[in-house]
């Protein structure tokens, strides 16, 4: 690759991860298809994308930790419940037909968009709920299931985590996105990246531009999320979720 192609990869990564850090997921919507378009087979593109997205978590985490508004207990729950699912999902996808998985995920993601749109007040104000043992156990099961999708598929799992935190634990959108970016963007993605790098080849010479772009995009997106109000984040979430769903269903 020449320097213009590396510059293109950097710009793509910045844009994709900026939107992802703002809405709480969806970087693969832009980044993965372009890697395939530029000549990488699906498995190679997916593994390369997974490794690069760890930088999204790093950039977003650096910005969100400055605000000191994250819950250590909730982050620990997300990591403990989700990472096993991520690892299992990465192994399981090897035996699953990609197209069927994308269709199912697309339908579920479209349901997320519709659900958020039909609940005008959802996530606009925080109201901590389900913090007892039973509620935490159910929340952990939900995170484990979403972790399976994160390990197996290319885009959309962060969107499920965001809405799950809003719906089940009562976080507003701003805090939900922050927790998603720290736990999923950093912890889950790192686990998935390590697993995928063992199972599939990674295009290492493409990674410098992708990692730098993911780092910058993650930081800028997290900054935009912090400065924006919950209503604006909610609308961005609904837009990204809807577009991801259409992309998955269209193939």
Per-residue pLDDT of 60-119, as tens digits, reads: 888 888 887 788 999 999 999 999 998 888 777 655 566 776 787 788 888 888 999 999
Task: Please check the confidence at residue 1 and state whether its pLDDT lies above 90.
Answer: no
pLDDT recorded at residue 82 = 94
CA distance 155 to 249: 12
The pLDDT confidence band at residue 156, using thresholds 50, 70 and 90, is: low
Which residue is listed with tokens 């992708």?
A: 210
Q: Mean per-residue pLDDT for 175-184?
A: 91
- Res 231 pLDDT > 60: yes
Task: Kindly tell me if the per-residue pLDDT of 208 is higher than 90.
Answer: yes
Contact 179, 128 (CB under 8 A): no
Say which range, 4-8, 19-23, 66-70, 124-128, has the weakest mean pLDDT.
Answer: 66-70
Query: For residues 154 and 20, which has the higher predicted lDDT (pLDDT)?
Result: 20
Which domain range does residue 64 map to?
3-250
**Token digits of residue 90:** 């990465």
Q: Which residue has the higher pLDDT, 136 or 184?
A: 136
User: What token pair was written down for 93?
Assistant: 């996808």
Please answer whether residues 45 and 98 qualify as being in contact, where contact means their C-beta atoms are separated by less than 8 angstroms.
Answer: no
- Domains of the chain: total: 1
Two tokens, residue 37: 């378009």
Burial state string for 94-123 with b = 16 or more CB within 10 A and e = fewer than 16: eeeeeeebbeebbeebbebbeebeeeeebb
DSSP state of 39: T
Q: How far apart are the C-alpha atoms of 83 and 183, rounded to whole Å?
A: 9
Predicted pLDDT of residue 95? 59
How far is it, in rounded angstroms, from Cα 103 to Cα 26? Answer: 16
């Amino acid at each position: 690759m020449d320097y213009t192609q590396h510059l293109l990869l950097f710009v793509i990564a910045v844009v994709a991860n900026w939107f992802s850090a703002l809405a709480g997921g969806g970087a693969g919507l832009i980044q993965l298809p372009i890697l395939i378009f530029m000549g990488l087979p699906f498995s190679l593109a997916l593994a390369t994308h997974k490794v690069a997205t760890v930088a999204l978590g790093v950039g977003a985490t650096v910005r969100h930790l400055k605000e000191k508004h994250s819950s250590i207990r909730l982050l620990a729950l997300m990591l403990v419940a989700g990472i096993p699912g991520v690892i299992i999902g990465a192994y399981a996808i090897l035996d699953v037909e990609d197209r069927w998985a994308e269709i199912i995920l697309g339908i579920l993601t479209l349901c997320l968009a519709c659900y958020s749109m039909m609940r005008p007040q959802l996530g606009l104000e925080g109201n901590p709920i389900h913090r007892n043992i039973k509620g935490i156990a159910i929340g952990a099961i939900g995170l484990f299931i979403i972790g399976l999708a994160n390990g197996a598929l290319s885009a959309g799992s962060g969107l499920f985590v965001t809405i799950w935190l809003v719906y089940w634990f009562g976080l507003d959108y701003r805090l939900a996105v922050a927790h998603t970016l720290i736990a999923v963007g950093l912890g889950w993605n790192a686990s998935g990246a390590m697993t995928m790098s063992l199972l599939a080849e990674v295009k290492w010479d493409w990674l410098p531009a992708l990692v730098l772009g993911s780092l910058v995009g993650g930081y800028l997106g997290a900054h935009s999320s912090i400065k924006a109000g919950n209503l604006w984040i909610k609308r961005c979430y609904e837009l990204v979720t809807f577009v991801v769903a259409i992309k998955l269903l269209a193939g």
